[in-house]
Structure 1
Amino acid sequence: MAIARKHAGNAVQRNRLKRLARESFRHHQERLEGLDLVVMSRPAASQASNADLLASLSRHWQRLRKQCAPSPSS
């Protein structure tokens, strides 16, 4: 996992973003089995609170599950 230096200025901010992404993925891992994911950050992410980031990641995981769910055959 890599967070661009221009998105999070120092190592502390980059490591926090990576740690939160890993933690969120671990909590949703069972429902995301079989997917290879790439998490990309935005510059505003380094200024967001941990709760906001975790909530945003949770919404992204839910959207991915819906998009990748097999459609019922008719």
Structure 2
Amino acid sequence: MPHQGFPRCFRLLNAGDYRYVFEQADLKVHGKGIMALARRNTLGHPRLGLVVSKKNVKLAVDRNRFKRLVRESVRLRQDQLPAVDIVVLARRGVQDMDNDVLYRQLHGMWKRLRRDSQADKALSASSKHTT
């Protein structure tokens, strides 16, 4: 059984971690009301950071619900996700989605992220062989 916790090593903890992803994101995945930026890391597991502004999600209860659902979604799929640093940004309208819709959005985003990561890895590997 894979580890199901969400310890500190699975989180982006400081401004430098976030800057690393924002400066040059390798992958970008959109969902309705959600965007995820990702950049490869060398840790062998994914790390997650969240950006949920008061401007986009007014009520604290909605911001906290969004963060809780995203963390839970990543925690349950951490063994299936590639070794990337992920920053999930909440957009306007995300507070209007119920939990099931939001969870399905996240599930689809993680599938696309995994697929795009594999395609990106194959592309970079083939370009190394041609030079």
* TM-score, shorter chain, exceeding 0.5: yes
Between Structure 1 and Structure 2, whose CA radius of gyration is higher?
2
What CA distance in whole angstroms lies between the structure 1 residues aligned with 2:63 and 2:93?
A: 12
Q: Percent identity, aligned pairs only?
A: 36
Q: Which of 53, 63, 71 is the equivalent residue of 2:122?
A: 71
For structure 2, the residue ranges without an aligned partner over 5 or more in a row are 1-49, 127-131
Counting matched residue pairs gives 74
What code does the residue aligned with 1:55 have? R
Q: Which runs of 5+ in 1 are unaligned?
A: none
RMSD, matched Cα: 1.8
Counterpart Cα distance in 2 of 1:66 and 1:33: 9
Query: Structure 1-normalised TM-score?
Result: 0.89
TM-score normalised over the length of structure 2: 0.52
Further displaced range: 50-59 or 62-71:
62-71
* Counterpart for residue 80 of structure 2: 31
Shift of 1:34: 1.2
Where 2:53 maps in the other structure, the secondary structure is: coil
Correspondence for 2:102? 53
Decide which structure has greater strand share: 2
Higher relative contact order (CA 8 A, sep 6+): 1
Moved beyond 2 Å, runs of 4+: 70-74
